[in-house]
Amino acid sequence: LILGALTLAKGGIAQDMSELPPALGPKVYKGVSLPEVRSYHEWHNLRAPLLKSIFQTEVYGRLPTPNSLNLISKTTVDEAAFGGLGRLEEAVLTSDAHKVRLHVAYVVPKTPGPHPVVIVTAFCGNGSTFSDNRLSLPAGGLPEFCARFKNMPPSATDDPDPYLIAPPVEALLKRGYAVASFSTADIVIDDKATAIIPLHLLNPTAPPNERLGAIAAWGWGYSKVIDFLETDPRFDPKRQAIYGHSRNGKAAISAAAFDKRIDLVFAHQSGRGGASLSRSPVGEQVSNITGGFPHWFAPNYARYGDDPNRLPVDQHELIGLIAPRPLLLGAGVDDQWADPEGAWQAAIAATPVYQLSGHKGLTQTTRETPNLSADIAYFLRPGRHGTTLSDWGRFMDFMDAHFKTPRKP
């Protein structure tokens, strides 16, 4: 697994990724100069705080100002949901300062707890996550594309659409997992024309070029759900997993980098601004994503559009901030826009951080054969952008492997 020897191809041109700064190498940023990292202690105490600051300044924007949301209500929606396997509830949390009203829907297995939990982001509302239209709609209603999914039955085949908006909740409950769901629209609606004011309200103190981006704002949503779950003894605070697909996969992976309470992450097809290296020449480029979605990142990120090699950090260092926690990365062969190769390279380049902490990081030797009990697992499956039932199967196996023996002391 030697990175310098690997190349990426774009239109027949091979690009040498040796320009990628090693995760543990010396670093200079705005006059601060740090030597090579030689111990996990140095990583944790010196390097990680600097990286968290650089990722906010240059990529994701300044995180929301610290704030706990107030619990407004908690209701039982269905005592015996999913054929009696779980109890479906809904909580409403608000913050006046942040102008946020967050609906968290969750189903808790009927078996004795405390239960491991997986937190998912709902593209089409919590009602679609749990197939229950009594649950509240997200702020602004459902996005237009959700009409396409209406009445789409869960499919036993590997169709990448149905599971995009609804995880296999029954299967998760049968394996003992609680499932919690929130809509990113409750934090900030995904609309470049209207997002800037709510993003500013989440952190009014951020300098203009470091304005919070929607990706990190959505990531903060996972953390707010965790604040709430941790007040309820039915959930195990040592086994909290998060899942996000595509733009929500970017949110998930950034959330885990900034919030240590997240114990395990499945960032599926997260692409640019997610697990894939910003320097990678495959698929969506920094210039594409910051041009198409200017509200997703700090305005500073767009400055690297013409030459991402100038970025003082890259996504292998973001993954390093997750170490030693388990991370699953899924990719699709026909989903080159999300740059499967860039995520593979990032996983390789983040592995020394896992090794420094006494873990192994990525251990598989081919992209197609994930080792689901390794700290970092990656899979490249046939097919396009979307989440299939077998993607979920791998995620559940990954959680089973890692949550058997909780890692936290």
Q: How far is the CB of 251 from ligand GTR (least distance, A)?
A: 10
| Contacts (CB under 6 A) with ligand GTR, residues 218-247 | 246-247
**Token pair 């239109």: residue:** 11
Q: Which of 234, 281, 283 has the alpha carbon at shortest distance from 385? A: 283
Contact (CB, 8 A) for 251 and 221 = yes
Q: Is 289 in the site for ligand GTR (CB under 6 A)?
A: yes
Q: How far is the CB of 101 from ligand GTR (least distance, A)?
A: 23
| Contacts (CB under 6 A) with ligand GTR, residues 334-393 | none
Q: Tell me the angle at which helices 340-356 and 315-322 cross, rounded to the nearest 10 degrees.
A: 40
Measured from the CB atom, the residue of 81 and 275 that comes closer to ligand GTR is: 275
Rounded distance, CA 339 to CA 71, Å?
A: 40
Measured from the CB atom, the residue of 191 and 232 that comes closer to ligand GTR is: 191
Rounded distance, CA 291 to CA 285, Å?
A: 10
Measured from the CB atom, the residue of 284 and 391 that comes closer to ligand GTR is: 284
Measured from the CB atom, the residue of 273 and 370 that comes closer to ligand GTR is: 273
Q: Which two tokens stand for residue 83?
A: 């054929």
**Token pair 């100038």: residue:** 310
The 245-284 site mask, x for binding ligand GTR (CB under 6 A), equals -xx-----------------------xx-----------x
Beta pairing, strands 7-10 & 264-268: unpaired
Measured from the CB atom, the residue of 184 and 223 that comes closer to ligand GTR is: 184
Rounded distance, CA 8 to CA 339, Å?
A: 10
Beta pairing, strands 235-245 & 264-268: parallel
Rounded distance, CA 200 to CA 202, Å?
A: 5
Q: How far is the CB of 385 from ligand GTR (least distance, A)?
A: 6
Q: Is 62 in the site for ligand GTR (CB under 6 A)?
A: no
The 121-150 site mask, x for binding ligand GTR (CB under 6 A), equals ------------------------------
Site residues for ligand GTR per CB under 6 A: 246-247, 271-272, 284, 289, 292
